[in-house]
Structure 1
Amino acid sequence: MEERSAHGYQPLIRFDNVGLRYGLGPEILRDVTFAIEPGSFQYVTGPSGAGKSSLLRLLFLSLKPTRGMVEIFGQDAATASRTTVPVLRRRIGIVFQDFRLLEHLTTYENVALPLRVLGHPDSSYRHDVTELLEWVGLGDKMWVHPPVLSGGEKQRAAIARAVITRPEILLADEPTGNVDPPLARRLLRLFIELNRLGTSIVIATHDLALMDQYDARRLILNSGLMEIHDVV
């Protein structure tokens, strides 16, 4: 029988007593149990080295747990086949700290890439990509290549690329780390609007000022353990 949340929905992602270690080292995450529901918004926070990035890698199926169970869209991550993993990942948008933009593509082409991979013709998404780039302040950098962009501009391009397909889940690793406070607030509004359209948001951040601007559930990692603070 499928497990249901308190709201009656099947969670998009479920962790059950998950542990993670690299090689023979100590556990980075220990006994982590939580669920991400459809349309939810949560911050993952905690001190540096607490395991925030490792948790996002588990959520994106870049890692498999050492123990416990990670279930994504009803699929056990431990038994997901090589052909299944890419299909699941297409339902997830992710913003990495190192951006991972392709340097031989323009900003526009980088942002449009997920839609091209899905087989959509340029004419079907040109307006949406252009509008999104204008919104994140990159309208004048649309046709330049990543080496010309600043760190903050690369971050905005990476965020635009992650949200252009309106994924079911968006994972963002320190998405406002290289931008000034006004732009951080604008990017947060983008995440909030995407959430209102139905995307579940997971933002890993240590920025307390950012979290205070929008009240949402906090998944707090400390020494590999998770404490959950729900919105009151």
Structure 2
Amino acid sequence: MIRFENVGLRYGMGPEVLRDLNFHIPARSFQFLTGPSGAGKTTLIRLLFLSLKPTRGLVRVFGRDLSTAPKSELPALRRRIGVVFQDFRLLDHLTTYENVALPLRVLEREESGYRHDVVELLRWVGLGERINAYPPVLSGGEKQRVAIARALITQPEVLLADEPTGNVDPPLARRLLRLFIELNRLGTAVVIATHDIGLMDQVDARRLVISDGRLEISE
């Protein structure tokens, strides 16, 4: 689904912060992206989400070579990828329901066609009782689950999650991990960026280990 070949990234005229990346994200796969703080996990997530463009190398996303794909195609490709950011990026003036439904509103979908799906998804992530709450009154774990639900509402083929358990306690981290495992079982490829060894040890999954700008794969 996503393939990197000899990919490198630098900012301006500085040295490469990521270099010689060679890996792929198969359909329906589950993998962790790990490495020390500052190693480049978030930068790689941004490359995978197509919000950054590499300075060299080949990136193919859903069969399209990004070096030749016109910019007009990128939004459609990006809509096939869900992403959960570290800082959640919820809108405080919108309710839980409205935050999750926002991607569908942007796509100009009729609410009558998606309201049931949004409500069911919020129940699935354990927020059925918080549907009308606003982000300022939600706990960190609740905000995290809203962000996950928003990333899932468009039924992406790939889900990218940047440190999704970094601000929650261990029991909630395990619950979130079970959500990702269930999502993967239903057919979505999942990439979780984390430095939590204990979390990774709970799943038999491939690890993409980034260090000093390079990537190694541990099966």
* TM-score above 0.5, yes or no: yes
Match of 2:114 among 99, 104, 125: 125
CA distance in 2, matches of 1:147, 1:82: 36
Match of 1:156 among 145, 148, 153: 145
CA distance in 2, matches of 1:79, 1:100: 31
The reply to whether residue 58 of structure 1 matches residue 44 of structure 2 is no
Which consecutive residues of structure 2, in runs of 5 or more, have no partner in the other structure?
Answer: none
Aligned identity (percent) is: 73
CA distance in 2, matches of 1:28, 1:143: 42
Asked if the contact 1:65/1:78 (under 8 Å) is kept, the reply is no
CA distance in 2, matches of 1:74, 1:45: 26
Q: Counterpart in 2 of 1:109?
A: 98
Asked if the contact 1:166/1:194 (under 8 Å) is kept, the reply is no
May I ask how many residue pairs the two structures share in their alignment? 219
Q: Which has the higher contact order (CA 8 A, sep 6+)?
A: 2
Following superposition, the deviation at residue 163 of structure 1 comes to 1.2
What CA deviation, in whole Å up to 9, does each residue of 1:166-194 have, x standing for no partner? 21000000011111111111111111111
The reply to whether residue 176 of structure 1 matches residue 143 of structure 2 is no
Aligned partner of residue 89 in structure 2, secondary structure: coil
The reply to whether residue 75 of structure 1 matches residue 64 of structure 2 is yes
Following superposition, the deviation at residue 96 of structure 1 comes to 0.7
Q: Counterpart in 1 of 2:195?
A: 206
Which consecutive residues of structure 1, in runs of 5 or more, have no partner in the other structure?
Answer: 1-11
The reply to whether residue 93 of structure 1 matches residue 82 of structure 2 is yes
**CA RMSD, Structure 1 to Structure 2 (Å):** 1.4
CA distance in 1, matches of 2:34, 2:67: 25
Aligned partner of residue 47 in structure 1, secondary structure: coil
Aligned partner of residue 93 in structure 1, secondary structure: strand
Following superposition, the deviation at residue 130 of structure 1 comes to 1.9
Asked if the contact 1:64/1:78 (under 8 Å) is kept, the reply is no
CA distance in 1, matches of 2:164, 2:121: 16
